[in-house]
Copies of this chain bind each other. A is one copy, B any other.
Amino acid sequence: MRTVRTFAEARALGSGCVGLVPTMGYLHEGHISLVDAARRESDTVTVSLFVNPLQFGPTEDLGSYPRNFERDAEMVAAAGADILFAPQLAEMYPRDPLTTVTVAHVTEGMEGGIRPGHFDGVATVVTKLFAGLAPDRSYFGRKDAQQLVTVRRMSADLSFPTVIVGAPIVRESDGLALSSRNTYLDAAERIAAGSINRGIAAVADAVLAGERSGRQLERIAAAPVNEEPGIELDYATLANQDTASSLTDLDRPAFLAIAARVGRTRLLDNVHIDRTDAGWVPDVGIRLEGPSILYREA
């Protein structure tokens, strides 16, 4: 694997079908599942690692966002990536950037309502990665569901030829969705955070049992979080997979997203609900059998 600092080097090293996995580092098995998928489907696998200031609000955790470059580089090399693109700030923003990519409507609710400007930052930096690295395939986790909707829409609207792949959530053995921000949680918070996945699991069961009402599914999702002390629900919303707008009923591909705060940490989780020949199928993702690297090496 080659670690490079510039778009030009990363482009020059790519050949054949280029698969891109954009990350902000502090990697876990969720990221590695994206590298694995890219490895299966691409000739060149490029992992980008950049903590993008544009997508953090002024009161958010840019300064304290966890970083461990050595471990990240070892993990992506072990997973078979070809290129680690780890630009310095001066490569990404040699001048004060004046250009913003904005995606309307799909960024308005949920995270967009709570984190103003966040999705402008995401859309702008992903546009840069697509423009500068010209991937044929690009891999994003389903955990950041509204981000996935935003990136899909941006890419289609801007005529990028890259195929966007959304991959299942990877979870701790007790169901907590992997997130670099989980490392902020102390023991008591870690227990409180478990209520989120209980809501997600209950939604999956309700869908399989035939529940189709959006408001009812949201109540089912919210109940475990609302019953748990030490955690505050931001929202539990059934949303359209294509537009991220709220759905009255489960009548098209959807996701039920939960956002909650545990101490200073915001956590997201969701279940995507896809229409298949066998009816509506919830995708709750994959559980690890033991603790993730975030806990093993913390």
Cα–Cα distance between A127 and B8 once the two chains are bound (Å):
19
Cα–Cα distance between A100 and B134 once the two chains are bound (Å):
20
Q: Are B98 and A101 in contact (CB under 8 A)?
A: no
Q: Are A132 and B157 in contact (CB under 8 A)?
A: no
A290 within 8 A of B: no
| Binary per-residue interface labels of chain A (87-99) against chain B in the complex, 1 for a CB within 8 Å, 0 otherwise | 0000010110111
| Binary per-residue interface labels of chain A (126-165) against chain B in the complex, 1 for a CB within 8 Å, 0 otherwise | 0111111010000000000000000001101111110000
- Cβ of A85 to closest chain B Cβ, rounded Å: 11
Complex interface: chain B residues within 8 A of A101 (CB): 99-102, 127, 158
Cross-interface CB contact of A99 among B92, B129, B134, B158, cutoff 8 Å: B158
Cross-interface CB contact of A157 among B97, B102, B159, B161, cutoff 8 Å: B97
| Binary per-residue interface labels of chain A (105-125) against chain B in the complex, 1 for a CB within 8 Å, 0 otherwise | 110000000000000000110
- Cβ of A171 to closest chain B Cβ, rounded Å: 31
A11 within 8 A of B: yes
Given A127-B158, A158-B131, decide whether A153 and B98 contact each other with a Cβ distance below 8 A: yes
Complex interface: chain B residues within 8 A of A7 (CB): 159, 161
Cα–Cα distance between A173 and B161 once the two chains are bound (Å):
44
Cα–Cα distance between A101 and B131 once the two chains are bound (Å):
13
Q: Are A159 and B132 in contact (CB under 8 A)?
A: yes
Complex interface: chain B residues within 8 A of A99 (CB): 101-104, 123, 153-154, 157-158
Complex interface: chain B residues within 8 A of A131 (CB): 130-131, 158-161
Complex interface: chain B residues within 8 A of A132 (CB): 158-161
Given A11-B161, A134-B134, decide whether A156 and B103 contact each other with a Cβ distance below 8 A: no
Q: Are A100 and B104 in contact (CB under 8 A)?
A: yes
Instruction: Specify the chain B residue showing the minimal Cβ separation from A87.
Output: B159
- Cβ of A50 to closest chain B Cβ, rounded Å: 11
Among A7, A11, A92, A159, find the residue whose CB has the most chain B CB atoms closer than 10 A.
A159
- Cβ of A265 to closest chain B Cβ, rounded Å: 31
Complex interface: chain B residues within 8 A of A98 (CB): 103-106, 153, 157
Complex interface: chain B residues within 8 A of A158 (CB): 99, 101, 124, 127-128, 131-132
15 pairs of residues in contact across A and B, judged by CB atoms under 8 Å: A7-B159, A8-B161, A95-B157, A98-B106, A98-B157, A99-B101, A99-B104, A99-B123, A99-B154, A100-B101, A101-B127, A128-B157, A128-B158, A132-B158, A132-B159
Given contacts A98-B153, A101-B127, 8 further A-B contacts (CB under 8 A): A98-B105, A99-B101, A99-B102, A99-B103, A127-B127, A128-B157, A130-B131, A131-B158
